[in-house]
Structure 1
Amino acid sequence: MNSHDVRIWAIRKRPTKSPSYDVRWKVGDRLPFSKTFRTKALADNFRAKLLRSTQKGEEFDTETGLPASMTETRATLTWYDFAQKYLAMKWPHAAPNTRDGINEALTLVTMALLDECPGRPEDGLLREALRKWAFVLPTPGEREVPVAVGNALHWLGKASKPLADLGKPAVLLGVLDALKLKLDGTAAAPETVRRKKNTFVNALEYAKNLGEFTENPMTLVQWKRPRVVKQVDPRVVFNPRQAGRLLDATTYVGGFRRARGRRLTGMFAGMYYGGFRPAEAVGLSLPDCTLPSSGWGSVLLHRTRPTVGKLWTGTGNVHDDRGLKNRPAKDTREVPIPPQLVAIFRDHVDTFGTADDGRLFFNERGGLVSSSTYSRVWEEARQLALPPAEQSSLLADCPYAARHSALSTWLNSGTDPTEVAMRAGNSVEVLLTRYAKCIAGRFEIANARIEGLLREYE
C-alpha cells in the first residue's frame, strides 16, 4: 500500500491502572492498527519511525500495517543462542559462585523453552550438556565434547524456542514458574528463586539493549515470587555451654592419630568466638593473627577461600581466592578475638603448625579444607555432643550456625550493634534485620519500660 494512503494518529494514553500509550494508524481501507507501549517515550519513538517511512514513500504492508523497513526478515534468534551470548558477556566479570548461579538459571530457562522435536535426549543428559558444556567457558566449540553430549547440544539448538516468544505473557509466566524448581524438579528455596529470577531479568534487559525487545518483557507481567525469609531462625543458635560441648566433640572425630576433627577444632572456634564466615576461616593465615600469651588478641581478615568447583573458577582449582564478601578487593577487617580463641589458636599452631603458605587450617595433605570436609566433621561432632532430642532439632544444624550463634551472643551481651556489625562484616541494618529474632530478653525489657510509663500516669 502506498504511503500516501497511510494515516497516523496521535498517541493516546490508556486509562489503566498501570499507564500505557497506544499508537494508532490506518493503512488504506483496513481497520486501524494499534500498538501499546509502557512509556510515552517508547510510543513516540515508534510513531516517529512510521512518520519517517511515510516521508520516504515506503510501501506499507496491509497485513501487518508496517513499512518494509520495519518488516525486514532476519534469522530468528533462539533463546539458546541468545543465552550463550549473554553468558559470554557476563562470565569474564563474574565471581565463580555467580557463574554457577548464572549457569543454573540459564539451564532452567532453556529447559522450559524447548519445542517438541523428534529424537529428544533424556532430560538428565540435556541438563548435563547445559550445565557442564553449553553454559561454561571455554565453549563446547573450544573443547573436545563427548559424542552423546554433542548430539544433545545439537538437538537443543534445533528445539529451542525463539527469544521473541518471551514477549508473550503466557510463555514468560511459564518460565518464571519453572524457576521455582531445582534442576531435579523439587521446590527451590525462596532465596535461590530470587537469585535465578534476577539473572533472568538481567538477561532480558540485555536482550532489550541488543534491540531484541522494545522494552523488558518483565514489565508486562505480574508474578508473585516465594517470600524470602531474611531472619536467622533462633532454633539454630546455641549457647556458650553447648558451644563448648560441640568444640570438644570435634576433637574425637576421626580418631586421635589421624586428627581429622582436631585439625578443624580451631576453625570452628574461630567461627564461634570470632564470628568468622567459613570461607574466611579457611583462608586465615598465621601472619594475620596477633596471639599474645594472655588477654585479647586480634585477626586481620582480608581473604576468603570458598569452595566453588573447578568449572567456575577458571583456574582448575576447586577453591576461589577472593577478598572479603561485599567489600572492595583489597579491603580488610580487623576482629578482636577473646582469650579463649587466642589459646585455641596457639595450641593449634603448637600441635599442627601451618600449611606451606601460612594457613592455620589444612587437610591431611596440607591442602585447602573443602566445605564437604568440614561439614562432615561438624555433623559427626554434633552427633557426639548433643542429646537425641537436640540432634533431631535445628540446633547447630550446620557449621554456619556457629557464626549465627556468635553474633547472637554479642548482641545479647549488650554490645553496641555498630560494633557487632563492624566485627561481623555486615551493615547495621542487615545485622538487626537478620538477628532480630535471636536477641533474647527484648520483650521483658520493652514490657518493663511500657509498664513504668503507664504507672507514671496512674
Structure 2
Amino acid sequence: MKTTDVRVWEPRAKSRQGRATTWEVRWVVAGREVSRSRRTKGLADKLHARLLMAVEKGEQFDTDTGLPPSMVEQEPGITWWAFALKYVAMKWPHAAPNYRDEINEALTCATKALMPKRPGAPSSEALQRALRDWAFVRPGPDEREIPEVARSVIVWVAENSPPLSDLSKPDVMRDVLNALRLKLDGEAAASETFKRKRKVLVNAMNYAREIGEFKENPVHAVSVEKPNRVTAVDPRVVVNPRQAADLIASVSYVGGYERAKGRRLVGLFAGMYYAGLRPAEAVGITAQDCHLPAEGWGVANLHRTRPTAGKKWTKTGEVHDDRGLKNREPEDVRPTPLPPVLVAMWRDSINTFGTADDGRLFFSERGKLVGSTAYWRVWSEARHYGLPPDLVKSPLAARPYDLRHSALSTWLNAGLDPTEVAERAGNSVEVLLARYAKCLHGRHVVANQKIEKLLGEYE
C-alpha cells in the first residue's frame, strides 16, 4: 500500500518541566495512522530516515505492521535503557531505601558494561555520576530538571543502548556478570557485593520474563563461579572482653567534655558489644522499649531500626530510614537480654543526657539521629586511645560492627547454645555458625597454655 505521509511529530504530553517525554514518528498507511515512540529525538530521526529511504525505494508498507519489508525484521524491541527505567519505576514504590540503592548500583554497573566502546562515548566517571545520581532514581530523568552535563550523558546512553534481547546472548550476559564482580577501580569486589548486584539483575530479568521479553531468565543460562553463600568473619577483627571494655571506655575521651561528643555514644557502642545489637538497632533504641532495673539483668524489646540510607533513597527525604528488624516481618519484636554492666551504662546515659523527644537513648547534641558517619568518626578516634599502636594499625575492631561480631563470638566461646545465641542476635543458626564462630583475639594463648599443661602431665 502506498504511504502518503511520513513525519516526525513532537508529543503533545509534556513533563512537569515542559520537557518532551517521548518523540513520536507518525505516518499513514492505506489511510491508517501508524506511529512508533522513541525516547529521544535522535532515535526518532533515525527511524524517520529509514522510513523515508523505504518510501524512495518504492517499498510497499505492510498494512498490519505499518512497516516496509526491509524493516519488519529489523524493528528492534525495547532497549535495555528503556527497560531499566521501567523496572526502576515498578520496584521503587515498594522497595526499602537500602534496596533502592542496591537497584541503582546494579543497574548502573550493568548499563556501563552494555554501552558500546566507541569514540565520543562519555568517560566511565561521567557515566557513573549521571546514572547513579540522575538516571536510576525517582522521579526519573524525564520527569525533572537535571544538569546539562548529566542530560547529555543520559541522551547518549538512550541513543546507544542495545536491545534488551541482547542479554539473551551468553557472551553479552557473561560480560555483564563479570562487570558486577568489579569495583569502580577495576579491582575485584567482595563476594557479598557481587551477590547483592547479581540478585538485582536476576530480579530484573525475572520481570523482563513476566512482561514477555524473555521465555527464560537469561542470567541462569550463563555458568559463572558463585561466591560462598556466607562469608565468615575475619578472626583478626574480633576483640576479647578486656579489649572491648577498654575501647568502649575510650569513647568517652573523644571530643570536648562539655559537648560530650564521645560520652553521648558510650552506651551506643556498649549495646553493640554487650547485647550484640546491630548499629541501626542501637541508633533506634528507645527508653520505652527497655526494662532497666537498678540491679541485675534488663531487657530491650527490639522492633525498630534506623539505618542510614541517604535522602534520595528514602520516601521521606530524610537521611535515615525507619523500619522493622532485619529479615523480620515489620511488626516482629525481638526481646534481647541486657547484662548488668550494660544496664548500668544505659541508666547512667539517661541520667546524664536524658532522652531524645521520641525516647531514643542516643542522639546528637541537637537531639538528632546519630548518623553512621558520626559514630564511625568517634570510633576511629577511640581506637587510638584504647589500643596499643601495633593494634591500631591492625584490622582489630576497625569498624563499629566488629563489636557485634565480637559479642557473638564471645557468647559462642562461653559455651552458650547456638540456638540461644541466634535468637538473641536475630540470626539463623546456620548463618551464626558459618559467620561468627571465630576465636577471640588472644584466645590462642589460653588454648596453648591448656595444651602445654596437658603435655606436661605426661613428661
Give the TM bin, normalised by the shorter chain.
0.7 to 0.9
2:242 paired residue number = 241
Correspondence for 2:325:
324
Between the aligned partners of 1:97 and 1:118, the Cα distance in structure 2 is 36
Q: Distance in 2 between matches of 1:264 and 1:99?
A: 29
Structure 1 residue 307, shift from structure 2 partner: 0.3
Q: Quick check: 1:78–1:160 contact (8 Å CA) kept in 2?
A: yes
Cα offset for 1:74? 4.2
Q: Distance in 2 between matches of 1:229 and 1:426?
A: 12
Q: Secondary structure at the match of 2:272?
A: helix
Shift of 1:256: 1.0
Deviation at 1:173, TM superposition (A): 1.1
Report the secondary structure of 1:300's partner residue: strand
8 Å Cα contact 1:353/1:360 also seen in 2 = yes
Deviates more, 1:220-229 or 1:271-280: 220-229
| Aligned counterparts, 1:377-416, within 5 A | 377-416=378-417
Contact kept? 2:267, 2:349, Cα under 8 Å = yes
Q: Deviations over 1:222-263 (max 9, x none)?
A: 112444652112211111111111011100001211211111
1:296 CA drift (Å): 0.9
1:117–1:159 CA contact under 8 A, matched in 2: no
1:154-178: CA deviation from partner (whole Å, max 9, x where unpaired): 1110111111111222111111111
Post-superposition offset of 1:407: 1.0
Q: Are residue 131 (structure 1) and residue 132 (structure 2) matched?
A: yes
Q: CA deviation at 1:72?
A: 6.0
Instruction: Compute the TM-score of the two structures, normalised by the length of structure 1.
Output: 0.78
| Structure-2-length-normalised TM-score | 0.78
Could you tell me which residue of structure 2 aligns to residue 436 of structure 1?
Answer: 437
Q: After alignment, is 232-241 or 275-284 more displaced?
A: 232-241
Corresponding residue number in structure 2 for 1:140: 141
Whole-angstrom CA distance in 2 between matches of 1:292 and 1:310 = 38
Query: Contact (CA 8 Å) 1:313, 1:320: kept in 2 or not?
Result: yes
The corresponding residue for 1:204 is 205
Structure 1: stretches of 5+ with no match in the other structure: 1-67, 452-458
What are the equivalent positions in structure 2 for 1:211-230 lying under 5 Å apart? 211-227=212-228, 230=231
Find the counterpart in structure 2 of residue 158 from structure 1.
159
Question: Contact 2:109–2:179 (CA<8 Å) still a contact in 1?
Answer: yes
Farther off after superposition, 394-403 or 202-211:
202-211
Query: Could you tell me which amino acid in structure 2 is paired with residue 434 of structure 1?
Result: R
Q: Does the residue aligned with 2:410 lie in a helix, a strand or coil?
A: helix
Report the number of matched residues: 378
Query: Are the structure 2 counterparts of residues 232 and 116 from structure 1 closer, same or farther at C-alpha, using a change threshold of 3 Å?
Result: closer
| Aligned partner letter, 2:418 | P
Q: Residues of 1 paired with 2:228 and 2:299: CA distance?
A: 39
For the Cα contact (< 8 Å) 2:230–2:431, is it kept in 1?
no
Q: CA deviation at 1:285?
A: 0.5
Alignment correspondent of 2:112: 111
Alpha-carbon distance, 1:374 to partner: 0.5
Offset of residue 144 of structure 1: 1.4
Structure 2: unaligned runs, 5 residues or longer: 1-68, 455-459
Residue in 2 aligned with 1:270? 271
Amino acid at match of 1:136: V
Q: CA deviation at 1:200?
A: 1.1
Give the Å deviation of 1:122: 2.9
Q: Report the secondary structure of 1:81's partner residue.
A: helix
1:365 correspondence with 2:355: no
Q: How well do the aligned residues superpose, as a CA RMSD in angstroms?
A: 2.2
Percent identity among equivalent residues? 60
CA contact (8 A) 1:303 1:322 kept: yes
**Matched residue, 1:83:** 84
- Per-residue deviation, 1:116: 4.3
